[in-house]
Amino acid sequence: MSAGSNAPPLPDFAEAVRLLRAGELVAFPTETVYGLGADASNPEAVARIFAAKGRPSSHPLIVHLPDAGHLDRWARDIPRPAWELAEAFWPGPLTLILPRAPDVPHAVTGGQETVGVRVPAHPITLGLLRAFARAGGGRRGLCGIAGPSANRFGRISPTDAAHVREELGAAVALVLDGGACEVGIESTILDLSRRDGPPRLLRPGHITPGQIGKVIGEFPELPAGMRAAAVPRVSGSLDGHYAPRTAMRLTASDALLRAVEDASSQGKRCGLLLRGPLEPPAVHALRRLPDAPDGYARGLYAALRELDQAGGDLIFVEAVPPGPDWAAVADRLRRAARGSGKA
Ligand code: TXA
Ligand code: MG
């Protein structure tokens, strides 16, 4: 490493590549959250992901690619907007759903005819993906790492390496430590697999519908209709998700102090997650996040995890403002509240 550089040295990827090629699990950092990785071309390796997470195997996984040049190995009939979005946002927190190429294992797609792909923006994982490619990748020359968030199914996504070890322990052969995740919530998911109609947003994230619309000249259809889908196309769209074990309540700023006081007077030990300038009451555990969507998202999962581990009876979360800027955070908070309290 050159003198004066602050960037940490990249790890030696040889061991990680060896493990991937042997069908083992390697957890990896991304700009969004940590992923639980396996060689996406190897169905037995992919099955290990589902077993480690306790996730139903009908749920498709995102395949992480070294660069957009690998796209047509994994997908077919790729429409022009997909290339435009890849050019604009990769490496970055945008997942594209496309018709799958014939060689893509059903294990990865949950038996669907589509595949989710993205190029993550983290130097360690890009280094790993490139080393995997140089080593010949996986089977049939396919080079991709299948990776859901590295948490137990339904639980809070991990945003640093210690969270991954807490969640999955010995099920993972290796955890690559890339520090705290920059974005902090999962990638935006856009479905481009339909032949007609506009692209559909399946999961809101850091990349907004407005940014997508600017690049492709068409505003995506928003998630409302998606909830009526018979099969869970996006596990994040199931109601309870990203959830603490402690019961969690989302409460408007002007009702928050009263709600906390009421609960405390009934002998409940309350955790509290604030964002605004509110003067906090005496509580069992307190966290405060920045009152702006990016900073809030970056700290959200670590704060929820800490409040969950504080061992109180209830977590109150100050609700976030309505509107598109907060939509991705609001989505995660709603689902976390709904899935909470099932210790
Ligand atoms: O930011 C992220 O996307 C992180 C990092 C690790 O890349 N990954 C992540 O994976 O959030 P996961 O599995 O926790 O959530 C990915 C979602 C799943 O809910 C899955 O249903 C959806 O993407 N997905 C994957 N392939 C799909 C497909 N072919 N059709 C529809 N949804 C798909
Ligand atoms: Mg997840």
Summarised one tens digit per residue, pLDDT across range 108-150 is 999 999 999 999 999 999 999 999 999 999 999 899 999 999 9
Place of tokens 């003198």: 3
pLDDT the model gives residue 56: 86
Query: CA torsion sign, 46 to 39 to 61 to 177?
Result: positive
- In our burial notation (b when 16+ CB lie closer than 10 A, e otherwise), range 128-160 reads bbebbbeeebbeeebbbbbbbbbbebbbbbbbb
pLDDT the model gives residue 6: 64
Q: Is the pLDDT of residue 25 over 80?
A: yes
Is the CB of 144 within 6 Å of ligand 1? no
- Testing ligand 1's pocket by substitution, the residue of 97, 186, 207 carrying the most ligand atoms inside 8 A of its CB is 186
Q: Which helix (H) or strand (E) holds 28?
A: strand 26-28
pLDDT the model gives residue 259: 96
Mean pLDDT of the region 213-219: 97
Write the DSSP string, 104-122.
Answer: S-HHHHTT-SEEEEE----
The ligand placed nearest to the CA atom of residue 151 is 2
Identify the three-state secondary structure at position 183. coil
Is the CB of 189 within 6 Å of ligand 1? yes
pLDDT band at 100 (very low <50, low <70, confident <90, very high): very high
Q: Is the pLDDT of residue 231 over 70?
A: no
Contact yes or no for 285/271 (Cβ under 8 A): yes
Percent of all residues in the chain with a pLDDT value above 70, rounded to a whole number: 93
pLDDT the model gives residue 244: 95
Peptide bond connecting 209 to the previous residue in cis, omega within 30 degrees of 0? no
Mean pLDDT of the region 245-270: 96
Q: Whose CA is nearest to atom 21 of ligand 1?
A: 234
The dihedrals phi and psi of 206, each to the nearest 5 degrees, come to -65, -35
pLDDT the model gives residue 11: 81
- Please give the C-alpha separations between residue 231 and each of 60, 110, 127, 301, 343, in angstroms, as whole numbers: 11, 11, 35, 27, 26
Pairing of strands 145-146, 62-64: antiparallel
* Joined tokens for residue 336: 């976390």
pLDDT band at 3 (very low <50, low <70, confident <90, very high): very low
Q: Is the pLDDT of residue 2 over 50?
A: no
Alpha helices, DSSP H, located in the chain: 13-21, 43-53, 71-74, 80-89, 106-109, 123-134, 161-168, 209-216, 253-265, 293-309, 327-339
Per DSSP, 217 falls in state S
Ligand 2 centroid from CA 148, angstroms: 6
Closest CA to 234 of 248, 245, 247, 223: 223
pLDDT band at 235 (very low <50, low <70, confident <90, very high): low
Q: Is the pLDDT of residue 260 over 70?
A: yes
Alpha helices, DSSP H, located in 237-278: 253-265
More confident of the two residues 240 and 254: 254
Q: Is the pLDDT of residue 50 over 70?
A: yes
Closest CA to 48 of 202, 177, 155, 171: 171
Residues 278-330: pLDDT tens digits?
Answer: 888 899 999 999 999 999 999 999 999 999 999 999 999 999 999 889 999 99
pTM over 0.95: no
Contact yes or no for 314/268 (Cβ under 8 A): yes
Atom from ligand 1 closest to the CA of residue 151: 14
pLDDT the model gives residue 234: 54
Write the DSSP string, 154-182.
Answer: TBPPP-SHHHHHHHHGGG-SEE----S-S
Mean pLDDT of the region 18-23: 97
Place of tokens 């009702």: 255
pLDDT the model gives residue 5: 53
Average pLDDT, the chain: 92
Identify the three-state secondary structure at position 133. helix
Q: Is the pLDDT of residue 203 over 80?
A: yes
For ion ligand 2, residues whose CB falls within 5 Å: 149
pLDDT the model gives residue 342: 83
Q: Which domains does the chain have, with CATH numbers?
A: 14-230 (3.90.870.10), 247-339 (3.40.50.11030)
Ligand 2 centroid from CA 159, angstroms: 12
More confident of the two residues 276 and 188: 188
Mean pLDDT of the region 248-274: 96
Write the DSSP string, 71-115.
Answer: HHHHBSS--HHHHHHHHHH-SSSEEEEEEBPTTS-HHHHTT-SEE
